[in-house]
């Protein structure tokens, strides 16, 4: 398997997902973690598709074969069981009939696989006393990436060989607002402070 493309955090070659893992473990804010997860997701998908091509299994072939289990299994074998290819095969069966459905399911499955491992590794630590604490936080991270999942699905359905670039939905200098930040701008009487 290609270096840096494992989705198993315990693997010595799973460095791509180290930054989001370390950020969550140290208790970084949601926006910072989402940015690191976003970079890892796009980088992993781009590199995985490159590896698929190198093994004679172009990404477009996966999308074309999404209705045929035998063809998908053959493509996964060509990639030597690449983790991303295995999840793509599973997503093709579990998702709806369109390429976008399959791709949404695939990107979501990648996040599920990594985030679940992170939750199990950091639960019970100083910053995350319970599994439910970290799970709630990572649900917020996933919510912050919803536009990226849609972007990935749309772009790859249009052009399976395109180079994906992250979507930056917010204007430069803006940060995602939280309910707490919104309340800080109000007086105790419920009036907005100017």
**pLDDT 10s digits, 92-101:** 876 667 899 9
Residue 2 lies in a domain: no
Do 89 and 59 form a contact (C-beta atoms < 8 A)? no
Decide if pLDDT at 104 tops 90: yes
For residue 169 the two structure tokens come to 């939905």
Spatial separation of the C-alpha atoms in residues 56 and 51, rounded to whole Å: 9
Determine phi and psi for 155, rounding to 5 degrees.
Answer: -65, -45
Q: pLDDT for 134-176, tens place per residue? A: 999 999 999 999 999 999 999 999 999 999 998 765 444 444 4
Do 7 and 14 form a contact (C-beta atoms < 8 A)? yes
> What pLDDT is attached to residue 100?
94
> What pLDDT is attached to residue 168?
67
Residue 90 lies in a domain: yes
Q: Please indicate whether residue 110 or residue 186 has the higher confidence score (pLDDT).
A: 110
pTM of the model: 0.80
Residues in contact with 42: Cβ distance below 8 Å, sequence separation at least 6, in sequence order: 148, 152, 164, 165, 166
**Residue 162 belongs to domain spanning:** 15-184
Least confident of 21-25, 107-111, 161-165, 171-175: 171-175
Decide if pLDDT at 190 tops 90: no
Do 159 and 99 form a contact (C-beta atoms < 8 A)? no
Backbone region of residue 127 per phi and psi (left: phi > 0; alpha: psi in -120 to 50; beta: other values): alpha
Residue 189 lies in a domain: no
Residue 6 lies in a domain: no
Total number of domains in the chain: 1
> What pLDDT is attached to residue 139?
97
Spatial separation of the C-alpha atoms in residues 140 and 138, rounded to whole Å: 5
> What pLDDT is attached to residue 181?
47
Q: Please indicate whether residue 97 or residue 26 has the higher confidence score (pLDDT).
A: 26
Q: pLDDT for 29-69, tens place per residue? A: 999 999 999 999 999 999 999 999 999 999 999 999 988 89
Decide if pLDDT at 21 tops 70: yes
Residue 152 lies in a domain: yes
Residue 30 lies in a domain: yes
Residue 158 lies in a domain: yes
Cross-strand bridge partners of residue 192: 186
């Amino acid at each position: 398997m290609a270096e840096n493309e494992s989705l198993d955090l315990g693997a010595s070659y799973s460095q791509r997902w180290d930054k989001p893992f370390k950020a969550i473990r140290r208790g970084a804010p949601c926006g910072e973690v989402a940015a690191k997860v976003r970079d890892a997701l796009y980088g992993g998908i781009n590199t995985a598709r490159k590896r698929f091509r190198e093994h004679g299994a172009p990404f477009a072939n996966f999308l074309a074969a999404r209705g045929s289990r035998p063809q998908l299994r053959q493509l996964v074998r060509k990639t030597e069981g690449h983790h991303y290819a295995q999840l793509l095969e599973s997503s093709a069966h579990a998702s709806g009939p369109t390429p976008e459905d399959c791709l949404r399911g695939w990107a979501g499955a990648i996040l599920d696989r990594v985030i679940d491992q992170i939750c199990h590794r950091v639960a019970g630590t100083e910053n995350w006393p319970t599994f439910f604490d970290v799970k709630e936080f990572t649900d917020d991270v996933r919510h912050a990436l919803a536009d990226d999942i849609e972007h990935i699905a749309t772009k790859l359905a249009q052009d399976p060989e395109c180079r994906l670039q992250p979507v930056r939905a917010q204007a430069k200098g803006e940060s995602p607002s939280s309910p707490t930040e919104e309340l800080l701008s109000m007086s105790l009487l419920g009036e907005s402070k100017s």
